[in-house]
Amino acid sequence: MRSPPVAQEKFRNIGLIARSESEQALYSLRQLIHFLHGRDCTVILDKHIIGNLPEMGLQAASASQMGESCDLVIVVGGDGSLLGAARTLSRYNVPVLGVNRGHLGFLTDILPSEIESRVGQVLDGEYSTEKRFLLDLEVRRGKTVVGGGSALNDIVLLSGDSVHMIDFELMIDGHFVYGQRSDGLIISTPTGSTAYALSGGGPIMHPKLDAMVLVPLNPHTLTSRPLVVAGDSEIKIHITTEKVRPLVSCDGTEGIRLQVDDVIAIRKKPHRLQLIHPPGHDFYQACRSKLGWSSRPGDGS
């Protein structure tokens, strides 16, 4: 495991990840490659998009190989692209930087028009670092583990393709919390609190918080509210519904189909994502910009 870079360290071996189906992302990727070559950087391209840029003559690698060999990985796309990269790269402690070619861009905060200036600052050692924790998922059926995954934003229990509510029991650190009938439950990190959990009525949590929030989805009671728990908590969900086969999904990926008496276990992942930002990054400014919060009179931010 490499140590986190010090502020003066300059990155030389840089991996690039982007959405192959996005022409805008590929356009920015070409711009970024030319800029990095001009800075004498070695560029390694995600093997899934190497076929989209054959004229560049770059070496290809998987995300895992980038984690082992790169000093920095830059993701060009939306937050979804960075979420996918984070689930692989967090274990390698490699810094990750995001260029926004998506929608909100809470995680990918460099605008396409700023690529050369802002990436240049990072290459010169001018950046801040955040450690974001992920969640680990394990699904047990009796004594057998039938599925698992990890999430930077959230793990979501859903009723799947059924219009019926689901029944489940919630345990936190071995303590029974409640039995619930609802459309599901969102278990979110602070990173994910500005995503699906926010749409479900959950609170916005600062990224530095060591906490998780549990947000019920359309509960069949007026007294069920979002619950914030310690980041080191172990969450277990016992599926008690028989009429419906619900799903559990990590960061919106294809879910694991569940059945009655399955137990979902969720806990903090041992490795954290090392997310870096150019100078001047401000979480509250990002909230104002992305969520439409009011600015001070005369302040355009």
Cβ count near 265 (within 10 Å)? 16
Check 40, 71, 79, 124 and give the catalytic one.
79
* Residue 79 annotated as catalytic: yes
Long-range contacts of 105-108 (CB under 8 A, 24+ apart): 105/78, 105/79, 105/290, 106/79, 106/191, 106/194, 106/195, 106/286, 106/290, 107/79, 107/82, 107/83, 107/191, 107/275, 108/75, 108/76, 108/77, 108/78, 108/79, 108/81, 108/82
> What are the CA-CA distances from residue 292 to residues 203, 258, 263 (Å)?
16, 38, 39
Q: Indicate the DSSP class of residue 202.
A: P
CB 275 within 8 A of CB 132: yes
Q: Catalogue the active-site residues.
A: 79
